[in-house]
Structure 1
Amino acid sequence: MGYYDLCCRYIGRDVTITCKDGKKFSGKITHVTNTHVYLQPTGSQFGGFGYGYGWGYGYRPWGWGFPIALAAIGGFALGAALWWI
């Protein structure tokens, strides 16, 4: 199963995505395209903004949240599995 299928399967769920460069992003999957997965952030990893500010509920660029290229994904975890690493 590729990351596209995996991301589609977990739309609406909280996940932690680790990119190939080591960066980790946590959030709820809001949308998936053939090239990107879109996350609604759940923490401060997106430039210091949480819910309600900047990237939160009030303003989401591209309408679905923050985009991450599927080709950049190096790891994927559901829920809080990697939140404390």
Structure 2
Amino acid sequence: MSQVSYYYGMCCRYKGRKVRITDVAGKEYRGRIVNVDSKYVYLEQDRGFGGFGYGYYRPYPGYYYPVVPVALAAIGGFFLGAAFVW
């Protein structure tokens, strides 16, 4: 099993959950998985309440924070939200 298919399966399994992903360059992404395709995992970044990390704050229904695509081939580490302090 290649690394890409391993992370693809993992991202599909945890879709909708908060995760922390580290790429091979060491950059860290935190957010909720909103979509996964054959090349990217899409994270809705958690901006917290005023940047202090009190969870999701949506000013009105249907408003979402920017979604960030992360290439599956660039993932170097994957952690579930429960494994760290958000």
Q: Structure 1 vs Structure 2: percent identity of aligned residues?
A: 52
What amino acid is the match of 1:24?
E
Q: CA deviation at 1:81?
A: 2.3
Tell me the residue number matched to 2:70: 68
- 2: distance between equivalents of 1:8 and 1:43? 23
In structure 2, how many angstroms separate the alpha carbons of the residues matched to 1:72 and 1:3? Answer: 10
Per the normalisation by structure 2, the TM-score is 0.70
Q: CA RMSD in A?
A: 2.4
1:8 to 9, 12, 26: 12
Using the size of structure 1 for normalisation, the TM-score is: 0.71
Which residues in structure 2 correspond to 1:8-27 (within 5 Å)? 8-27=12-31
Q: Show CA shifts across 1:22-51 (max 9, x none).
A: 00000000000000000000149xxxxx95
SS in 1 for 2:83: coil
SS in 2 for 1:4: helix
Aligned counterparts of 2:29 and 2:85: Cα–Cα separation in 1 = 10
Measured at CA, do residues 19 and 12 of structure 1 come closer, stay the same or move farther in structure 2, by a change above 3 Å?
A: same
Q: Could you say which structure has the higher helix fraction?
A: 2
Q: Which has the larger radius of gyration?
A: 2
Change (3 A) 1:51 1:66: farther
1:58 is displaced (CA, Å) by: 4.5
